[in-house]
Structure 1
Amino acid sequence: MAKYRHHLPQLDGGLFLTDAGIETTLIFHEGQNLPHFAAFHLLKDEAGTEVLRDYFRRHARIAREHRTGFILESATWRSSPDWGELLGYSAEELDAANRQAIAMLADLRADFETPETPCVISGCIGPRGDGYDPGQVMTPEEAQDYHGRQARVFAEAGADMITAITATNVPEAVGIVRAAQAEGMPVVISFTVETDGRLPTGQPLAEAIGLVDEATGKGPAYYMINCAHPSHFAGVLGNEGWIRRLRGLRCNASRKSHAELDEAEELDSGDPVELGADYGSLLQRFPHINVLGGCCGTDHRHIQQICVACQAA
C-alpha cells in the first residue's frame, strides 16, 4: 500500500539519498549479466532477486546510519514494452515483474524505515529508446500511451511516486507526466544532459523544464538531472526562477562524454570523494536541492561520500 503518495516527504526539505548506478554496479562489480542493461531481469529467480535486495540494502544502510531520508527506486528502468519484447517478456509477464519490483521495495522499507529515515517507494520508468540518444521522438500522446500501462501497474502495486530516469526529450517527458497524472501518481522527471548541460536533443535544460511545466500544468513534483558529471552542467545553473523546480541529482562518476563512455571497455568510477565534494559545492549554491543519488559508474561508496559532503554543506 502506498504510504506517501499524497504527501512526498522530500518536498518538506531535509536530505534524501537514493541509490547509485544500479546497472553499472551490477555488471562491473557484481558480475551480473544484464541483457539490454535490464536490471529487472534479475527478478526472474530468487538468486537474482537476492542480488537486487543486497544492492538496495547497502544504500539504505547509509541513509539510516546518517539519518537521512531514502528513496527506493525500482529496478525497472528497462521494463517497458519494447525492451520487454526484446527480452522475451509478454505484456502480462512484464506487469508481473513491475509488481514484483515494487513489492520487493515494500519489504525493504519495512526493514529499514525509521522516523529519521522515511523511505519513499518510486516506480522507475525509463525512456522508450536509449538514455543517451533520443532516437525517434514520440508525440506526447504516443508517449502517454506507451508508458501508461507501466504507470498503472506502479499505481496498483502501491508505489508512492513515479520517476522518469534518463528522460532525453520534452515530448516523451510530457507523455510520462500525463500517464502518471491519469493514475493519480506524483511524478518526477530526471533529464539526461550532455557535457554542455543541454538535453541530447540540444535543448537547454531551463527551456525543457519550462515546456514540460507548461504542457502539464506544472505536473512534476520536481525535476532532477542525471547521467552527467557535475562539471557538465554546473555552469548552466543560475538564479533564475526555474532553478527552484530542480530538486535532485543523479550524476555520473566520470567526466567523460556519453560517446566516450559508450566506447569504454572498463568502468570509470572516478573519485568518490571528489564527486561528493562536487555535490557539496552545488548544495552550497542551491540548498533546496535535497534528493541525491548516482548514475553511471557510481556505487555505494560514492553515495557515502555524497552524503558526508552534503550534510557538511
Structure 2
Amino acid sequence: MTPALRIPDGGLLLDGGLATELQRAGWPMAAPWWTSDALRTEGGRRAVRRIHERYVAAGADVVTANTFRCNPRAMRAADVTPEHLRRLIRAAVGLARAAVGERALVAASLAPAADCYRPDLVPGDDDLRREHGWTARELAAAGSDLVLAETMNSVREAVIAVEAALATGRPVWVSLVCAGGPRLLSGEPLGAAVRVLWEHGASAVLVNCTTLDDTESCLEVMSRAAWRPFGAYPNIENRFAIPKRSDVNQFIPAGIGPAAFARRLATWRTRYGLDVLGGCCGTSPEHLSALRRRLGQAGPARSRRADEAVARPRKDDFDEQSQPG
C-alpha cells in the first residue's frame, strides 16, 4: 500500500525560502555546501532553527528541513564522509523538529543528485537509485514526517526519487521545476509527467522554483486532470538584471510584496483548488504570514500531532484519487 499524507479540506501551507533568509542574514551560499554550510557551526544551526520558527509563527503547516544539498554527490565534492553526512542530515531534521514541536509537519528535502537547473547533468539510473536510496533512508531515519523530492527537472530522476522515498515507508511529495510554460526544464510536458508520477505512487505533485506566470500556466494543466492532491510554491526573486538560472552568492530581494503574493496565491487556491501552497526562493515569513491571513486560520493539521496526520488510505481511496478524469 502506498503511504499517503492526509490533507485537510482547507489544504496545507508549506513554508517559504530558507536559502533566501540565510542570504538575507549574510550567510554564504556557494558550491559545494550551499545551505548545508549553516549546519556546520552552532551559529548557523541557531540561524536555521530561528528561520523554521518564524515560518511556523507565520502559519506554515509543513516546514522543510535543511537537507536540500545533503546528498552524497554534493558532499563528495566537499570531502564529506558518509558518517559526517549522516550527522548533517540528522542535525537538519532535528532542527526542524525542535522548531515546530507539534504545531507542524516536517518534510525532508530530497534534491536532484546533480544540478537542479541542468537536466543534461542528470546521472544514470544506477547512480540515481544508489544515491537517492541512501539519502531517502537517512531522511526517514532522521525522523521526518514525509519526503519532499523537490526541484526535479526530469521525469526519469523524479520517478527514481519517488521510488526511493516510498521504499522507506514515508509519504512522498514530488515537485517539478518548469520554464517556458507547462514543461519541465528537460522539455518534457508537465501533464504527462504528473500522470507518470502519480502512477509511481507520489502522494502529491507540485511545481516549485518556477516563475509566477509559468507556475500559473502549469496549474492550468494540472487542474484539468483528475490527479489530486497538487500544489505550487513559486520562485519570486527579482532576477531582472541577473542571467537566467545563474547562481548568485548574495541576497536577491523579492519581485513582489507580501500582500500581492498573498492575493495571487489565494486566487490560485480558489481558481484551481490547490491542496498545497507555499513559497520558494525570494519568499519570506512575511509573505507566508500574508498568505495565511488571506486564506484564513490554520487548518486542523496544525493542531494535532504530526504522526496523526500520516495515514495509509484504503486501497479504494487511493485508486479513486489516482484515476484520470
- State TM-score, norm by structure 2: 0.81
| AA at the equivalent of 1:232 | D
1:128 aligns with 2:104: no
CA distance 1:222–1:140, shift in 2 (3 Å): farther
1:286 aligns with 2:272: yes
Residue number in structure 2 paired with 1:66: none
CA distance 1:266–1:161, shift in 2 (3 Å): closer
Where relative contact order (Cα < 8 A, 6+ residues apart) is larger, the structure is 2
Pairing 1:176-215 to 2, within 5 Å after superposition: 176-214=161-199
1:147 aligns with 2:122: no
CA distance 1:246–1:15, shift in 2 (3 Å): closer
Instruction: Please state how far the C-alpha of 1:51 moved relative to its aligned partner.
Output: 0.4
Instruction: Please state how far the C-alpha of 1:6 moved relative to its aligned partner.
Output: 6.0
Contact (CA 8 Å) 2:208, 2:232: kept in 1 or not? yes
Q: What are the ranges of 5 or more consecutive residues in structure 2 without an aligned counterpart?
A: 298-325
Instruction: Please state how far the C-alpha of 1:87 moved relative to its aligned partner.
Output: 2.3
1:167 aligns with 2:152: yes
Contact (CA 8 Å) 1:192, 1:227: kept in 2 or not? yes
Residue number in structure 2 paired with 1:253: 236
| AA at the equivalent of 2:10 | G
Residue number in structure 2 paired with 1:55: 51
Q: What are the ranges of 5 or more consecutive residues in structure 1 without an aligned counterpart?
A: 64-68
Residue number in structure 2 paired with 1:92: 83
CA distance 1:254–1:43, shift in 2 (3 Å): closer
Residue number in structure 1 paired with 2:205: 223
| AA at the equivalent of 1:8 | L
Instruction: Please state how far the C-alpha of 1:266 moved relative to its aligned partner.
Output: 6.4
Residue number in structure 1 paired with 2:310: none
Instruction: Please state how far the C-alpha of 1:140 moved relative to its aligned partner.
Output: 4.3
Q: 205-214 vs 255-264, which deviates more?
A: 255-264
Residue number in structure 2 paired with 1:107: 98
**Separation in structure 1 between the aligned mates of residue 10 and residue 124 of structure 2, nearest angstrom:** 36
Please give the per-residue CA displacement for 1:106-130, whole angstroms capped at 9, x wherever unaligned.
22232xx3xxxx4111111111122
Contact (CA 8 Å) 1:143, 1:171: kept in 2 or not? no
Q: SS in structure 2 opposite 1:131?
A: coil
Q: SS in structure 1 opposite 2:148?
A: strand
Q: 164-173 vs 263-272, which deviates more?
A: 263-272
Identity %: 25
CA distance 1:194–1:249, shift in 2 (3 Å): same
Residue number in structure 1 paired with 2:224: 240
Q: How many aligned positions are there?
A: 290
**Separation in structure 2 between the aligned mates of residue 33 and residue 138 of structure 1, nearest angstrom:** 27
Instruction: Please state how far the C-alpha of 1:60 moved relative to its aligned partner.
Output: 0.5
| AA at the equivalent of 2:197 | V
**Separation in structure 2 between the aligned mates of residue 276 and residue 198 of structure 1, nearest angstrom:** 25
Instruction: Please state how far the C-alpha of 1:211 moved relative to its aligned partner.
Output: 2.2
| Counterpart among 254, 262, 266 of residue 246 in structure 2 | 262
Supply the RMSD in Å over aligned alpha carbons: 2.4
